[in-house]
Amino acid sequence: MSSPADRQSVAGQDSEPHPPPGSAPRGGLLAQHLVRTDRASSRRLLDDVSVQLTPGQRVGLMGPSGSGKSLLLRALAHLDPLDGGSLLWRGQPVHRDAIPGFRASVLLLLQHPVMASGTVEDQCTLPYRLRHFRHLGKSFDRRAALNLVESSGRHAAFLDQPAARLSGGERQLVALIRALLLEPQVLLLDEPTSAMDSATVAVAERWIADWSAADAQRSFVWVTHDAPQARRVADTFWTLQAGRLVDTPPQESP
């Protein structure tokens, strides 16, 4: 079976992120002309950014530090106010009363996950007590959590470990376990493996590949500074520079 890099030239074909004018896909996310301005300097942090994330798409998002990658993910997750532009989910605007359901389907994983007090298992059960997940009628699947923990090479007792004692890489691993248990349709991944050792990175990449393969409608945007990783995980590539999308192949960023 060919790899994503073999199926597409990273310099072309599916690297074009701009949606057709007036398009409104039935599924996925459509962002048009997003603008975010820094109030102090009046500098545009996101400058007329338009992207379309279609069902089944696997996007690698690259660019220099400070180019707006994290801001774009936060915009796609409907977390930050914008100074211009629009966001459609499954062809419809995301109104205020629909945001809880939207956030149950579209999950953002931060590079530095915030952990509440308690154990690793407490971190995994927390979302089921939140309003935008509670209405789905789902409950915490401890067996599925144990399967993920054990497939990472850790013992079941890892679930009982205090979250305060976790390393940065372990925090990222727990955040990923928590997200996968919620079975979202879209993952917005902000350098989700940056603090992991190489063995755990391989585990995380496999988990996300398995999650994606389990449902052809699932898609993700994965921010990384690691060009080889982008080629391993993605079939489409976006690059941001100074808040604007540019059409370049994945390459190492500072």
User: Is residue 120 included in any domain, yes or no?
Assistant: yes
User: Is residue 10 included in any domain, yes or no?
Assistant: no
Q: What is the pLDDT of residue 99?
A: 87
User: Is residue 253 included in any domain, yes or no?
Assistant: no
Residue pair 233/205 in contact (Cβ under 8 Å)? The answer is: yes
Q: Strand ranges (DSSP E) for 42-116?
A: 44-53, 58-62, 84-89, 92-93, 106-109
pLDDT tens-digit profile of 122-153? 999 999 988 767 777 788 999 999 999 999 99
Q: State how far the Cα of 143 lies from the Cα of 149, in Å rounded to an integer.
A: 10
User: Is residue 130 included in any domain, yes or no?
Assistant: yes
User: Is residue 218 included in any domain, yes or no?
Assistant: yes
The number of domains in the chain is 1
CB neighbours of residue 169 within 10 Å: 16
Q: State how far the Cα of 4 lies from the Cα of 6, in Å rounded to an integer.
A: 5
Q: What is the pLDDT of residue 178?
A: 97
User: Is residue 251 included in any domain, yes or no?
Assistant: no
Q: State how far the Cα of 47 lies from the Cα of 53, in Å rounded to an integer.
A: 18
Q: What is the pLDDT of residue 141?
A: 96
What CATH number is attached to the domain comprising 171?
3.40.50.300
pLDDT tens-digit profile of 4-36? 434 333 333 344 454 544 444 456 999 999 999
User: Is residue 254 included in any domain, yes or no?
Assistant: no
Q: What is the pLDDT of residue 158?
A: 98
Q: State how far the Cα of 161 lies from the Cα of 246, in Å rounded to an integer.
A: 44
pTM across the whole model: 0.87
User: Is residue 3 included in any domain, yes or no?
Assistant: no
Q: State how far the Cα of 84 lies from the Cα of 202, in Å rounded to an integer.
A: 38
| Residue 164 belongs to domain spanning | 29-246
Which one has a higher pLDDT value, 6 or 187? Answer: 187
